[in-house]
Copies of this chain bind each other. A is one copy, B any other.
């Protein structure tokens, strides 16, 4: 077993065994290296691995604030992971769309019963940005992401929310590329904004069945329109 894997196994087994939980501190790098009889470089490589998974967080300095602690921030890690694999075309965009629909149906269903006032406000905010006349494509893209993130956050299901966020974020660049090929941008904005208004109404009324249907139709039809606008040849960001 390679040296950094020894460290990895040490930390992972303690996390899986419950001996290390969120907030706990790891021994200092030098100390851990001494304990496991590996070099400090090996410890650092293992720590980087776990940081990439959103499991550890390091900060410099002495005392309680300094050191490496266990956290649990999977959203960022998932976004980075998915974004890269989507770019590598391992996950064809069509497949991503299908998975996204499955997750967002769940998210929006839960959001219908769990949404709080602040969640609804975030949705309205995003919808308002997208409804501005002559809205910029990049701004629209960001706001649409924000809307779907807000819905996912409102669901109260962390895994579904984080996966939804990761998927939507990973599609941001490919979608922006697709936007650039759209001929009648204002018409697309109008159609999508109408969808968003309906979506919001369904959530606000707590009509889970209608919301589920709407979000599937919304995602599917939006993607169909974008696909129709795309040039024939596949791109590295597409499929």
Interface members, chain A 38-60 (any B CB < 8 Å): 41, 44-46, 48-55
**Residue A106 at the B interface, CB < 8 A?**
yes
Interface members, chain A 81-108 (any B CB < 8 Å): 81-85, 87-92, 95-96, 98-99, 101-103, 105-106
**Residue A78 at the B interface, CB < 8 A?**
yes
A88-B70 in contact given A52-B52, A52-B53, A83-B16 (Cβ < 8 Å): yes
Stretch at the interface among A129-137, A152-160, A178-186, A192-200: A152-160
Are A163's CB and B99's CB within 8 A?
Answer: yes
**Residue A227 at the B interface, CB < 8 A?**
no
- Closest residue to A102 on the B side, CB-wise? B106
For the complex formed, measure the closest distance between the CB of A52 and the CB atoms of chain B, giving whole angstroms: 4
Query: Which residues of chain B are near A41, meaning CB under 8 Å?
Result: 41, 44
- Report the separation of the CA atoms of residues A87 and B77 in the bound assembly, to the nearest whole angstrom: 16
For the complex formed, measure the closest distance between the CB of A139 and the CB atoms of chain B, giving whole angstroms: 20
Query: Which residues of chain B are near A51, meaning CB under 8 Å?
Result: 49
Are A99's CB and B90's CB within 8 A?
Answer: no
Are A84's CB and B15's CB within 8 A?
Answer: yes
**Residue A25 at the B interface, CB < 8 A?**
no
What is the interface residue range for chain A against chain B? 35 or more
Query: Which residues of chain B are near A121, meaning CB under 8 Å?
Result: none
Partner of A158 from the list B48, B54, B92 (CB cut-off 8 Å) is B92
Are A52's CB and B54's CB within 8 A?
Answer: no
- Closest residue to A164 on the B side, CB-wise? B99
Partner of A77 from the list B72, B81, B103 (CB cut-off 8 Å) is B81
Residues of A bordering B, CB below 8 Å: 4, 12, 15-16, 18, 21-22, 41, 44-46, 48-55, 70, 72, 74, 77-78, 80-85, 87-92, 95-96, 98-99, 101-103, 105-106, 110, 157-160, 163, 173, 235-237
Closest 4 CB pairs of A and B: A18-B236, A72-B90, A52-B52, A102-B106
29 CB contacts below 8 A, A to B, read A4-B48, A12-B84, A15-B84, A15-B88, A16-B173, A18-B235, A18-B237, A41-B44, A45-B48, A49-B52, A50-B52, A54-B81, A70-B88, A72-B88, A72-B90, A74-B81, A74-B90, A91-B158, A92-B158, A95-B159, A95-B160, A98-B110, A98-B157, A98-B159, A99-B160, A99-B163, A102-B102, A102-B103, A102-B105
